[in-house]
Structure 1
């Protein structure tokens, strides 16, 4: 099949989890024999921080404006079997309307931010999608699973809302025998709603365990954040450095955004990356987490610094290794890019079948009248 994906970025992982998600998924689609064209707005922010400027698993098209996108790639969109528009694409509503009018194949929306998207829609903030577009796309691929899918279908009239969680490429993420530099580390872009939990679970722990070393990697943290003396900082860590970063931690921390917690069933790509590296994960809790990993044996849940300190001090190296390995096996079974690509193809074929059924029903109706 021919895929056209119009997404936030595949060339730069700076300050977003979209790029690593797209890379893993599109690489696997290519391996399956599908042809992929990724179209990305050529913005100065990502242009200055491209860690994959020439991907080998897809064709890349950089466009300067929507008018140039539509002029240069109309034929590609019209002839593709599947066209996917991603969340947070600049002027995505205009692009979505164009795709619906132009594409002859399946038209899908891939929301890598579903709870945030729905919170914006409740405020009538139509930055990249509208209620009418949700009802018009053949397929709504959602970063979140659980009850939110029925809500998209019932309230917003999506013809087919399907969970397409983030995934991990096991060729890039796996255990390595590296020296453990940090007792606990965290990888994530600054978010105002995540920071209080990061302060509680990591910074407060660092203050109490001042003989241990901690590390936070990610961009956009404001200067006024008061990091304890034993918390190191890496402003940006390219994807090529993720594996080593995880493998140099005794434990890794997962912190979830407020909208994701409210919706539940919203695992971040970092969760799967860390698990694939076999590093034991300490995470805040949200509904649906236990459907992915078993609490206590595959993941550790913390409500405050006391829980984190108990894990760091009370779990032996061998116990930690077993927790990490069990989570790794779960990811290898259910959350690799190969498994996610299979799910995507199932949803696409399902959408094609629904289209055929609608056409057949219309033909029967017209014959009757």
Structure 2
């Protein structure tokens, strides 16, 4: 079956947190026999900051950030059995959704894949005329990056026929244990771009503990932090390419996950960073959010902090031996229960059930 997937970027993780998610899921679906074309706009300097070459398991079509180019690639939706428009593509998202739905053939499965459901729902709840909200009744399915029952119920209340979370996971071929790298040596590392919906939480969970533990080494990776005031014991390394994430995760004694405000409030939204760190065997400290126990066991496979004081206390008690034990158990858990191969099995069964329901024949 052919999939036309319209997303932010497959080949660049630059200001694009969904890249790992897309790569893991689509690669696993390709293994299951899907013929996938990924359409991405040339915006935000992503094509100048590619971190992978176009893969052999998916055709990548990069189009110019113009309405004409958008219309050209949207017309190719008519070639696919399954048409996916993701959230946050980054160029004329509403226009792209309209054009894709116009060109999708009548028998195709039409899906909106939301990689930031709390933000999307906040935007469309207050706007009855929003193009996505208007389109929900014509879409066959909404899939989401996470969110659990709160997101499922919210989408249902807005008119979606069906909403199913497909959570982040691990691709063990790309995120796995490696040798430590002295560049990333620290007691606690945090990797994340500077975003308005996250900055206050970074101040609470990372910057404030660093200011209190001046003899402790902190490591900050990600874009946008160059002019942010912070204590001298924080080493800033800027953008970290995905190929270096393993070393970033395994070198510090522990690494920190800090959810964006909307994700933390909603819960059931583990970031890709959670599975990347666990897959590398890192000791992960995460901010608290509802549903964490569905993915990793607190105090055994992950450490959970409710505020900056908890981060300080956890670091004070964390020995190298315990950190290694937590990382080892976390890696075993995600390899057993949370790989993209397993997520793709779920997606494949959803696709086939949807297509059978509409055709009355085996897909």
Query: What TM-score, normalized by structure 2, do the two folds share?
Result: 0.91
- 2:320 maps to 1:320: no
SS at match of 1:162: strand
- Correspondence for 1:115: 118
Whether contact under 8 Å (2:301, 2:329) holds in the other structure is yes
* Deviation of the 1:183 alpha carbon: 0.3
- Correspondence for 1:160: 162
Whether contact under 8 Å (2:27, 2:58) holds in the other structure is yes
- Correspondence for 2:143: 141
SS at match of 2:253: strand
Using a 3 Å threshold, how does the CA distance of structure 1 residues 304 and 289 change in structure 2: closer, same or farther?
same
Q: Which stretch shows the higher mean deviation, 94-103 or 136-145? A: 94-103
Gaps of 5+ in 1: 360-369
Gaps of 5+ in 2: none
1:169-318 to structure 2, matched below 5 A, reads 169-178=171-180, 181-221=185-225, 223=227, 225-318=228-321
* Deviation of the 1:313 alpha carbon: 2.4
* Deviation of the 1:176 alpha carbon: 2.5
SS at match of 1:36: strand
* Deviation of the 1:157 alpha carbon: 1.7
Query: What TM-score, normalized by structure 1, do the two folds share?
Result: 0.90
Tell me the distance in 2 between the aligned counterparts of 1:66 and 1:208: 51
Q: Which stretch shows the higher mean deviation, 81-90 or 43-52? A: 43-52
Using a 3 Å threshold, how does the CA distance of structure 1 residues 161 and 13 change in structure 2: closer, same or farther?
same
Tell me the distance in 1 between the aligned counterparts of 2:25 and 2:177: 21
Tell me the distance in 2 between the aligned counterparts of 1:103 and 1:330: 40
- Correspondence for 1:94: 95
> Superposition RMSD on alpha carbons, in Å?
2.1
- Correspondence for 1:40: 40
Q: Aligned residue pairs: how many? A: 355
Using a 3 Å threshold, how does the CA distance of structure 1 residues 304 and 150 change in structure 2: closer, same or farther?
closer
Tell me the distance in 1 between the aligned counterparts of 2:116 and 2:31: 26
* Deviation of the 1:256 alpha carbon: 0.8
Q: Which stretch shows the higher mean deviation, 211-220 or 90-99? A: 90-99
Q: Which stretch shows the higher mean deviation, 150-159 or 294-303? A: 150-159
- Correspondence for 1:365: none
* Deviation of the 1:289 alpha carbon: 1.3
Deviations 1:5-48 (A, max 9, x none): 00011121111211121111122222222211010112252122
Deviations 1:187-237 (A, max 9, x none): 1111223222222222222222222211111112361x2111010112211
- Correspondence for 2:68: 67
* Deviation of the 1:283 alpha carbon: 1.1
SS at match of 2:172: coil
SS at match of 2:187: strand
- Correspondence for 2:347: 344
Deviations 1:251-276 (A, max 9, x none): 11010111112211111111111111
SS at match of 1:85: strand
- Correspondence for 1:131: 133
Using a 3 Å threshold, how does the CA distance of structure 1 residues 62 and 147 change in structure 2: closer, same or farther?
same
Whether contact under 8 Å (2:117, 2:144) holds in the other structure is yes
Using a 3 Å threshold, how does the CA distance of structure 1 residues 207 and 69 change in structure 2: closer, same or farther?
closer
* Deviation of the 1:82 alpha carbon: 0.9
- 2:359 maps to 1:356: yes
Using a 3 Å threshold, how does the CA distance of structure 1 residues 137 and 250 change in structure 2: closer, same or farther?
same
* Deviation of the 1:179 alpha carbon: 5.8
Using a 3 Å threshold, how does the CA distance of structure 1 residues 302 and 44 change in structure 2: closer, same or farther?
closer
